[in-house]
């Protein structure tokens, strides 16, 4: 075979192989296109069907109500008074007359120091006073008798001066004795360590038998009825707070737990606005006072504080769960007259309790917003509005039969596409 024919056969073989490969590669693609078209028709049909079927959702109307406006901060509970009880004299401690954690009243006996030395001092001072008072009485009697004898010439005038000076000297001595008695009585009373305030006793620092001095702290008392809560706010809120305080009346303060799950105390009032702004933090301090009748607040405790500055009359309110977060800000699904929904951008201006928010713009009174079932919606979806707590009714037999027939028709069309 010549060289020419060999080359010709190789070229023909290459062309045949290429044609077969091309056919094999493009035949499944065509089939796939057909399947995709059929599938696309099914999807479009499903979309049409889903668009025609209302989505059951829970809706609530926009309400109008008076909304209190709060400023929030983290606060620290502080005792009204804190007193470290120290003895005012030195001596051996005989007894402890309180229980740790006990509430005590002003004047209650807390501890007793050995009084014997101080009792002896007091007794000596009292005896000295009685002795000098007796001398004074004698001198006064002598002076009185000699005054009558001077007129008759039996006593010299010079002696009378001596009698008068003796009476004055003894009177001064008696006055000094009385002061000594009072001083000794004070020292004796100091052997009884009593509570200077109404408060709660802490953990004691001494035991009976210890020798205490004026630098020894027996116990620390804290007064918690009433009690303070101190907190700080950013300086931009200063004018709001001052204007509210100047409006008359006391500003209400609430104390909540750290999770904001429940109110600990709701009887607080603003007590003090600090007279300067902290330049390092840009905040100013405030102090509120609570009655704390049930001892719900405890010194050193951290609480969330809500300061009521004013009340918005007729604010628009919706449930907080209706609000969704999008790339352009907050929005809700608004139910329109044709029972379809649209995305409506809203501006939130404050919280109302734990479950609602106040809307500044974007909605009007009595409009309905979706509160449950938003994940199944898109703009233009047709919805079936349900009240809170209401569940969709079960489908009727006719509706089930209609859905079954639609499914069979859809299956037949999808089968015809292959």
In this structure, the strands spanning 63-85 and 302-319 are: antiparallel
Structural domain range at position 176: 82-212
- Least trusted range by pLDDT, from 40-49, 104-113, 190-199, 288-297: 40-49
Domain assignment present for residue 192? The answer is: yes
Record the tokens describing residue 392, joined without a space.
Answer: 């969709």
Residues 180 and 96 in one domain: yes
- Count of structural domains within the chain: 4
Mean pLDDT for the stretch of residues 391-416: 60
Shared-domain flag, residues 108 and 225: no
Q: Are 291 and 321 found together in one domain?
A: no
Q: Is residue 399 part of a domain?
A: no
Distance CA(333)–CA(58), nearest Å, equals 11
Mean per-residue pLDDT for 358-364?
89
Give the residues across from 289 on adjacent strands: 228, 269
Average pLDDT value for residue range 207-228: 96
User: Does a structural domain hold residue 295?
Assistant: yes
Which of 212, 238, 264 marks a domain boundary? 212
Give the closest residue to 74 by CA, choosing from 220, 241, 250, 260. Answer: 260
Half-sphere exposure of residue 48, counting CA atoms within 13 Å on the CB side? 9
Same domain, 132 and 167: yes
CATH number (domain holding residue 291):
2.40.30.170
At which of 293, 313, 333 does a domain end? 313
Give tens-digit pLDDT for 268-278: 999 999 999 99
Listed residue (256, 310, 260, 262) closest to 288, CA to CA:
256
Bigger pLDDT: 350 or 239? 239
Residues 153 and 32 in one domain: no
Residue 356 falls inside a structural domain: yes
Instruction: Count Cβ atoms below 10 Å from residue 383 Cβ, excluding itself.
Output: 22
Joined tokens for residue 322: 């209706």
What pLDDT is recorded for position 154? 64
Residue 296 shares a structural domain with residue 326: no
Same domain, 120 and 187: yes
CB 292 within 8 A of CB 265: yes
Question: Is the model's pLDDT at 18 over the cut of 50?
Answer: yes
Q: Are strands 91-96 and 383-386 parallel, antiparallel or unpaired?
A: unpaired
| Position 387 confidence tier, pLDDT thresholds 50, 70, 90 | confident
């Amino acid at each position: 075979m010549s060289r020419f024919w060999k080359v010709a056969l190789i070229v023909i073989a290459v062309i045949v192989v290429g044609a077969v490969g091309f056919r094999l590669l493009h035949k499944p693609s065509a089939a796939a296109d057909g399947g995709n078209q059929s599938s696309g028709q099914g999807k479009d049909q499903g979309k049409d069907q889903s668009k025609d079927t209302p989505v059951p959702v829970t809706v609530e109307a926009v309400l109008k109500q008076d909304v209190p406006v709060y400023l929030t901060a983290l606060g620290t509970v502080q005792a009204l008074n804190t007193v470290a009880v120290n003895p005012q004299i030195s001596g051996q401690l005989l007894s402890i007359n309180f229980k740790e954690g006990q509430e005590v009243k002003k004047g209650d006996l807390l501890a007793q120091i050995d009084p014997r030395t101080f009792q002896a001092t007091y007794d000596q001072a009292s005896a000295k006073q009685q002795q000098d008072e007796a001398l004074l009485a004698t001198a006064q009697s002598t002076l009185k008798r000699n005054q009558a004898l001077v007129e008759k010439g039996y006593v010299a005038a010079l002696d009378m001066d001596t009698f008068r000076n003796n009476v004055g000297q003894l009177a001064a001595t008696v006055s000094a004795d009385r002061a000594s008695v009072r001083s000794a009585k004070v020292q004796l009373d100091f052997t009884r360590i009593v509570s200077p305030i109404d408060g709660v006793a802490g953990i004691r620092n001494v035991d009976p038998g210890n020798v205490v001095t004026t630098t020894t702290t027996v116990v620390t008392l804290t007064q918690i009825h009433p009690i303070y809560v101190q907190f700080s706010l950013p300086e931009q809120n200063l004018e709001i707070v001052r204007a509210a305080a100047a409006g008359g009346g006391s500003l209400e303060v609430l104390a909540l737990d750290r999770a904001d799950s429940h109110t600990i105390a709701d009887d607080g009032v603003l007590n003090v606005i600090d007279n300067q702004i902290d330049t390092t933090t840009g905040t100013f301090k405030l102090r509120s006072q609570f009655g704390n009748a049930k001892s719900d607040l405890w010194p050193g405790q951290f609480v969330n504080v809500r300061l009521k500055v004013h009340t918005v009359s007729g604010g628009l309110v919706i449930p907080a769960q209706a609000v969704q977060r999008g790339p352009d800000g907050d929005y809700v699904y608004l139910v329109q007259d044709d029972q379809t929904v649209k995305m409506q951008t809203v501006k939130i201006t404050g919280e109302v309790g734990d479950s609602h928010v106040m809307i500044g713009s974007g909605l009007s009174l009595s409009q309905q917003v979706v509160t449950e079932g938003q994940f199944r919606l898109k703009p233009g979806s047709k919805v079936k509005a349900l009240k809170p707590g209401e569940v969709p009714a079960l489908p009727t037999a006719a509706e089930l039969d209609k859905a079954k027939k639609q499914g069979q028709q859809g299956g037949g069309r999808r089968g015809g596409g292959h």
